[in-house]
Amino acid sequence: MDELKSLRRGRGLDTPDLAKRAGPGLREVFGLPVTADSAQVRTTLTRGLAELAAQLPTDLEFAVSTALALSEDKRTKFYNSRLALVAEHIERDKRTAVRHIDKGLRVLAELAVADAAGAATPNVRLPVAPWQTTELRTWVALDREAPEIYEMRRVTTTEKELRELRLEVSVPVTSGWKAGSAVNDPEIVVLGGGTLRARLHYSSTRVVFDLEPAEPLTDQREHEFFIRYRFSDVSKMRPFYACTPSFPCRSFDLHVRFGRKQPPPLIWKVDGLRMGEVEDDAAPREPIDADEAGEVHVRFLELTPNLSYGVAWGQ
């Protein structure tokens, strides 16, 4: 943990004297010989730490990746500037951002030690999520002028009292789509269980919004809410729908209705892939068929955070 904290100073992994910064713990865990120079250390640590960071919840992955300057675009900035990026990302002050980074670095250290010792990742103490999904049921209707998605979600919390849930939806748009051309796409309507309080566009494809339950969530009961997403144009969606949970999800039940007239000739199940692999022809695929109503139904249990589960289709 102390050695990881040392790495984040200055330019992070792009610091010229990286070989001196890499202490005995990092060298042992990542198999770096004492004679390794800064270039060798940089290559090995960048690859190894990035692979481990990908196992963290999305917010912690961003925090540690930015703090350590794992990506090329962050290496031009000094630590204080990178810290400001983390604070902006989590919408908190810098002191809170430091604590957030430290939490991520501690889990990163545990993952690294467990990986080097050959221990199973589930034995590592991942951060306790503020809330988690016990059941998610989703209906995707593609047989209309524009796609509509209905989502019923049941959640629990470990907090004594939770007044707000932050949710997000990624919109797989086509390459010709221009940012700003559909600012309110998708339309988000809470049909039951709370009130939509804020909506932010983190990028052209990712919308984040805050849901305020009718009553604060407590650790004594489950809470259920029902949301509808309506898109303005079916052409804006690429051919897949997936759930990529940031927090644990016990059950995901998905219905996709293509309609009886023209269901796609190829449909397959997406079962625990990274988002970038969902449309990759080389990724593992399990073919499935639509029924006579032009629908498919898949179910997943104990979803792994940051991996994608759902249905994809094509010609």
* CATH number, position 241: 2.60.40
Per residue of the chain (315 residues), give pLDDT as tens.
888 888 888 888 888 888 888 888 888 888 888 888 888 888 888 888 888 887 777 778 888 888 988 876 666 678 899 899 888 887 788 888 898 899 889 888 888 888 777 654 444 445 556 788 999 999 999 988 888 999 999 998 877 888 888 888 876 554 454 544 445 667 889 999 999 887 776 555 667 788 888 888 887 678 899 999 888 765 567 788 999 887 888 899 999 999 888 789 999 999 888 777 888 877 888 899 999 999 999 999 888 877 889 999 987
Domain, as residue range, for 282: 131-314
Number of domains in the chain: 2
Contact 225, 193 (CB under 8 A): yes
Place of tokens 């988002």: 275
CB 170 within 8 A of CB 206: yes
Helix (H) or strand (E) run with residue 103 in it: helix 94-117
Rounded Cα distance, 203 and 274, in Å: 19
In this structure, are 86 and 224 located in the same domain?
no
Report if pTM > 0.85. Answer: no
Q: Which two tokens stand for residue 230?
A: 């309506």
pLDDT at 284: 80
Are 115 and 149 in the same domain? Answer: no
Burial 123-144 (b: 16+ CB within 10 A, else e): ebebeebebbbeebbbbbbbbe
Please identify, among 104, 122, 140, the residue that sits at the C-terminal boundary of a domain.
Answer: 122
In this structure, are 172 and 198 located in the same domain?
A: yes
Peptide bond into 264 cis (omega under 30): no
Of 75, 93, 122, the residue at which a domain comes to its end is: 122
- Is 193 found in the same domain as 219? yes
| One domain for residues 152 and 48 | no
Distance CA 193, CA 211 (A): 9
The amino acid at residue 54 is A
Q: Letter for the amino acid at 186?
A: P
Cα–Cα distance measured from residue 305 to residue 122, given in angstroms and rounded to the nearest whole number = 12
